[in-house]
Amino acid sequence: MSTLAPLALLLLAFSAGAFMLPLRTKYSTRAHSAKSVRRPTPSRISQTENFRQAKELSRKFLDDYKHLHQNNGGDKKRIAIFGGGLSGLACAKYLVDAGHEPTLYEARDILGGKVAAWQDEDGDYIETGLHIFFGAYPNIHNLFQELGIEDRLSWAPHRMTFAMQELPGEFTTFDFPAGIPAPFNMAAAILRNTQMLTLEEKIRMVPALLPMLLEGQSFIDAQDEKSVLQFMTEYSMPARINEEIFIAMGKALDFIDPDKLSMTVVLTAMNRFINEADGSQTAFLDGNPPERLCQVRCLGFANLVVHFCCSLKLILSCQPIKEWVESKGGRVVCSSPVLEIELNEVDNTVKSLKLANGTTVTADYYVSAVPVDVLKRLIPTQWSTNPYFRQLDELEGIPVINIQLWFDRKLNSVDGLCFSRSPLLSVYADMSNNCEEYADENRSMLELVFAPCCPEAGASINWIAKTDSEIVDATMKELERLFPTEVGPNASTERRANLVKSTVVRVPRSVYAATPGRNKFRPSQVSPIYNFVMAGDYASQKYLGSMEGAVLSGKLAAEVICDKAMERSNRNGLKEVHSSFKGAVLKERPPVGIGIISPLSFGGGQQGSFDNP
């Protein structure tokens, strides 16, 4: 521990990036794409303990399949999953692996949830968010491996890049040397960077990190009641650490400023990466997530062609998870919003799901894989007094805005993810450098996360309610600092990059807001209702509100159902509800209902104006 302590101090500066990430001029980048050079998947990712655990759980589903096959399918269960994001899709995938028959119902006509994307009139894909795949996402990389699509990840160089606040147009990097194990590669990267923090400031961080190293997860969990700033004050950390590191970290981890972010989130990020040498390396999907990971939206004859080509292996699984589920007897049904959870009168178990088209769905088990804000609007009256469900009042999604900007020339941008350290922007990437689908040698397309974007998250202006033009104008103003010689009034005529197209996607309720004290209210996948199981990244799992958290939660939900089918006890069980709800007198509440049928009603992102449900 004496060796790791000073190294962990340096790791904190690095870990600020641990988890992240209209103008209607006709302009499409798709005609200008060029194939990018791929870096191989870091080999040490599959050698970590977390990856081993991910593979072990996957084998459990395959063992169950063998049992069902030997029993002639006698214990096969029908499962209705509502919510077609990564959590619902992962749940369906692992249920078919175990030999069961899931049907997934997605409200929208595209899969993906918070990773959804759609084509505009120019043929460009408009994305809900800037999605980054970290090396320390074991369940996601295990899933990619199982689907045979590891080659769809484009790995960036192993470095972290931060804009220099006081030096417009300049950046500083933490470069991680290859072949050196953790935590020494992290220490080397931070020691060689002298622009972010002084040596004295780094040393003064040591007392705050020692308890994490000595006590581990118990210490990390205990810090959930404190904000980042409260934690800093308790351990006498210099204020400049917040300005240089924690603001960037908070905006990247949960779209929130540090004075409103739980310190457990920061420490969890550090704890996940400290023992994984490639855990901090980042990758981009080589195209839009619905097509390259979830599914492709095809209609009519085009859909028949796609299925025909896939059956002949002429297309490398254009819709990997959906194709996997359907090839093994499951179903994926889009444009099927769930409007009501109907209960049995005797025991309040789920009787059926009522869809918007009037269809009634019945199954042996039911899985909620929708965002917490959506589920709260569907909770039946009879469940509303149950502390397990009432505790969800303490969880809500945080707003975020995703912006895509197309320019008429190439910007002098970095390769990989960049932390803008801007008051308005969190992280951004030049997708023309990082994503094969958007690759262009002559023009840049920036994708940026605008956060925080509401007062509750730390913004001085409620940006989520502003017009597209106001948001784009504010973003362009910030880019003048990042690209002073190419954007804005000081750019020369020869180098000036002109904005030719922009899109703004608002997500009023994104990942759950990880404000202090939220972890104790996150529900277990096991619920007090025998045939109802909880998924979603807000449910209890160790990877917080992230793509990895969503996949793991869906996988854990599938495990709950498999355990029930095999009459096994679940290793995690029903999480005890916090005492503030256990002893409370709770009055019945009828479900509010979904209201207006729109992407926002189901936790998605949307272009243009909206009514916040």
Annotated binding residues for FAD, written as ranges, equal: 87, 106-107, 338
Annotated binding site: 87, 106-107, 338
d(CA 609, CA 598): 12
The answer to whether 447 and 417 have CB atoms below 8 angstroms apart is no
Identify the residue whose tokens are 């593979």: 55
d(CA 27, CA 122): 7
Distances (CA, A) of 343 to 105, 340, 351, 430, 531: 18, 10, 5, 49, 11
Query: What's the distance, CA 445 to chain centroid?
Result: 22
d(CA 598, CA 512): 20
Q: What DSSP element (H or E) covers 428?
A: strand 425-430
**β-strands 171-175, 125-127 pairing:** unpaired
Count of CB atoms situated within 10 Å of the CB of 355: 19
The answer to whether 488 and 430 have CB atoms below 8 angstroms apart is no
d(CA 124, CA 147): 26
Q: Strand runs (DSSP E) across 34-106, as ranges?
A: 78-82, 101-105
Structure tokens at 327: 């090839």
CA 98, 103, 107, 112: dihedral to nearest 10 degrees?
30
d(CA 491, CA 480): 9
The sheet carrying 133-134 orders its strands as 133-134, 282-285, 153-155
Residue 257, classed as helix, strand or coil, is coil
**β-strands 101-105, 365-368 pairing:** unpaired
Distances (CA, A) of 196 to 38, 115, 248, 420, 518: 30, 32, 12, 14, 31
d(CA 133, CA 294): 15
* Amino acid identity, position 547: M
Cis peptide, bond prior to residue 613, ω within 30 of zero: no
DSSP labels, 126-190: EESS---EETT-HHHHHHHHHHT-GGGEEEPPSEEEEE-TTSTT-EEEEEPPTT--TTHHHHHHH
The answer to whether 524 and 574 have CB atoms below 8 angstroms apart is yes
Count of CB atoms situated within 10 Å of the CB of 584: 13
Distances (CA, A) of 205 to 11, 199, 235, 394, 562: 10, 10, 8, 32, 45
Residue 113, classed as helix, strand or coil, is helix
Inter-helix orientation angle 138-147/547-565, to 10°:
70
d(CA 394, CA 263): 18
